[in-house]
A and B are shown apart, each in its own frame.
Chain A
Amino acid sequence: MKNNLSMIYILAIITAIAALLLSITYNGTKDKIEEAYRQELIKALNVVLPEHDNHPDKEDINIDGKSVYIAKKGGKLVGVAFKSTSSKGYSGDIDILVGIDLNGKVYGVEILKHAETPGLGSKIETDSFKRSFKGLGKEDKIAVKKDGGVIDQFSGATISPRAVCEAVNNALKFYSEVVVKNPQLIGGVK
């Protein structure tokens, strides 16, 4: 009995010391970690949104459960950005951030998360691919050329670009059906 007690006693003490150590480390790194994630988001927002002078990451509004980041210049709305997803990637979900200007056209696209084939599908991360979405709106046929659209696919990797097209189309749909009608934005949106 004494043996069992001392076993549990030691395990409990060691676990308690561990928990304490970890709690200290956690509190020490918590802010830096949050900051790192924030910087990631800011970097992406700067890529997809038109020139702005506010902090879109801090000015987001919740529309239908989605965080919509607002970009302003001189106090006036210049664009919005939000995340969109396609589950039709070659190796799973592809998450993107789409920036849309006041004309309802895509200003920029940034790939946030993907697991596509390195060297093949991962080419969706190249600047030239991402730029090919700029200026497209919901009336344009946003699909890979194979499907009759205007986006170049890469030889040997159609599925990844196709998934990104789906995500962009979802984003434009969300914009025109939900965001535009949102009372908080009616002021500066066509």
Chain B
Amino acid sequence: MEYILLFISASIVNNFVLSRFLGICPFIGVSRKLDTAIGMSLAVIFVMGVAGIVTWIIQYAVLNPLNLGYLQTIIFILVIASLVQFVEMVIEKTSPDLYASLGIFLPLITTNCAVLGAAILNIQNGFSFLKMLIFTIGSAVGFAFALILFSGIRERIEYSDIPFYFRGLPITLITAGILSLAFMGFSGLVK
């Protein structure tokens, strides 16, 4: 039961994008079309999951015992960079279309604060391996949820009559703000 609550808390109540502000760059950059959003979401879920596991193991098996906690930032980001490189190669070979449509945003998963953020939060919250898995997957799913939801909305906005000076980034951000407001309604859901 505790685990289900942890999942709901990570994915919805404390949504990575809409309440923690992690993963904003791809959120704004990739959410123009629904299928790119879905492709990116899956890639992020995968990278976040594997990165979470590897960094957790490294922290508890290497960094803590050797008192090298201060090397966390460097080691974690290197792990993530390598993983993204690997995912890039795999996608390029298996789905060249997806590779082309994701473009520059695929290597940019490295600089996606959601991935590094989740890895660090796992350690800060002192999660056990199982809780870490649930928190990481939950957060990734939450990111995907927000991203896909938002791209659906943005596709609609394309057909709306937006006041001239609001077009582009301003209306996108304000819409995200309203979405964030809506998600605030989930506060207090997990007791």
Contact = CB atoms under 8 A, between A and B. Distances in A.
B188 A26 contact: no
Contacts of B70: 22-23, 25-26
A19 B71 CA distance: 7
A96 to B, nearest CB: 19
A18 interface: yes
B101 interface: no
B169 interface: no
Interface range on chain A: under 10, 10 to 19, 20 to 34, or 35 or more?
10 to 19
Contacts of A90: 187-188
Interface range on chain B: under 10, 10 to 19, 20 to 34, or 35 or more?
under 10
User: Which secondary structure characterizes the binding site on chain A?
Assistant: helix
A15 B70 CA distance: 14
A159 B74 CA distance: 39
A22 B188 contact: no
A59 to B, nearest CB: 26
Contacts of B187: 90-91
B93 interface: no
Nearest to B19: A91
A88 interface: yes
Contact of A18 (B14, B74, B188, B191): B74
Contacts of A88: 191
Interface in A79-105: 88, 90-92
A18 B78 CA distance: 13
A18 B14 CA distance: 35
Nearest to A25: B70
Given A23-B70, A25-B70, 5 more contacts: A15-B74, A22-B70, A22-B71, A26-B70, A91-B14
Nearest to A88: B191
Contacts of A19: 71, 74
A88 B74 CA distance: 35
Nearest to B73: A22
Nearest to B9: A92
A154 B71 CA distance: 44
Nearest to A115: B14
Contacts of B188: 90, 159
A127 B189 CA distance: 29
Contacts of B74: 15, 18-19, 22
Across the A-B interface, the 5 shortest Cβ-Cβ residue pairs: A26-B70, A22-B70, A90-B188, A90-B187, A159-B188
Interface in A1-28: 15, 18-19, 22-23, 25-26
Nearest to B70: A26
